[in-house]
Chains A and B, each alone.
Chain A
Amino acid sequence: MDIFQVVALGIVASVALLLIRKERPEISLGLSLVVGVMLFLVILPRLRSVVAVFGTLASESGVEPLYFGIILKVLAISYIADLGASICRDAGEEMVASRVEMAGKILILVSALPIVQEVLNVIRALMS
């Protein structure tokens, strides 16, 4: 069971962080980044099987593979941007964190542009 692993890791890391946060806040930032990445790495293989199932579903239902790729890309961008923004916010850099989030949103918008174009084309075809 992965949940035991995750919870144990979280508890151990919290105790260690509590120990060093007051003395060495800069090293505790690195430690919290390591813990966040590790928890993500524990859960990523599960996510991989979910992505595989949805991929077969999408290809069976005839969705264009390009669109499924865009959805995966948006998911990856949002996860990574969230991780980076949380680390920046942890360090007390609110401004950097919000810029990271803004960059993530803009990159998601850019990746979603083909879908927006397709929707507009459909609407135009319906109107005429």
Chain B
Amino acid sequence: MLSVDLIFKIAGLAIIVSVLHSVLKQAGKEEYAWLVTLTGIVIVLTLVTGLVAEFFNSVRSTFQLP
């Protein structure tokens, strides 16, 4: 249940995204840099939603809620 690799995954993703962002910005491709950031956020959100859904289900079963 407890997985530290999710933390490292997200942190690594953030570092990659910021490197790509600054490289693209240096190359003068502002719009692509923005797209890279957006993609990073979407990937992180998909990772987070699964965990949050699991969390809600486990709270529901712990407190015996319908």
Is B10 touching A9 in the complex (CB atoms < 8 A)?
no
Is B63 touching A51 in the complex (CB atoms < 8 A)?
yes
**Tally of A-B residue pairs with Cβ under 8 A?**
96
From the candidates B3, B4, B48, B62, name the one contacting A30 in the complex (CB within 8 A): B48
Is B6 touching A20 in the complex (CB atoms < 8 A)?
no
Is A41 touching B11 in the complex (CB atoms < 8 A)?
no
In the complex, A51 Cα to B10 Cα: how many Å? 33
In terms of DSSP, what is the predominant structure of the interface of chain A? helix
Count residues of chain A with CB under 8 A from any CB of chain B.
33
**Is A89 in the interface zone, CB < 8 Å from B?**
no
Count residues of chain B with CB under 8 A from any CB of chain A.
33
In the complex, A38 Cα to B2 Cα: how many Å? 7
Is A41 touching B1 in the complex (CB atoms < 8 A)?
yes
From the candidates A5, A24, A26, A34, name the one contacting B47 in the complex (CB within 8 A): A34
B-binding residues in A (CB < 8 A): 5, 9, 12-13, 16, 19-20, 23-24, 26-28, 30-31, 33-35, 37-38, 40-42, 44, 47-48, 51, 69, 72-73, 75-76, 79-80
Known: A31-B11, A41-B2. 12 other contacts (CB 8 A): A9-B4, A9-B7, A19-B14, A23-B14, A27-B14, A30-B10, A34-B10, A34-B51, A38-B7, A41-B55, A42-B1, A51-B62
What are the 7 tightest A-B residue pairs by CB atom distance, in nearest-first order?
A: A20-B14, A16-B11, A23-B18, A27-B14, A30-B44, A76-B63, A72-B63
**13 sample A-B contacts, Cβ–Cβ < 8 Å, listed by A number:** A9-B2, A9-B7, A20-B15, A30-B41, A34-B7, A37-B55, A38-B6, A41-B2, A42-B2, A48-B62, A51-B62, A72-B65, A79-B59
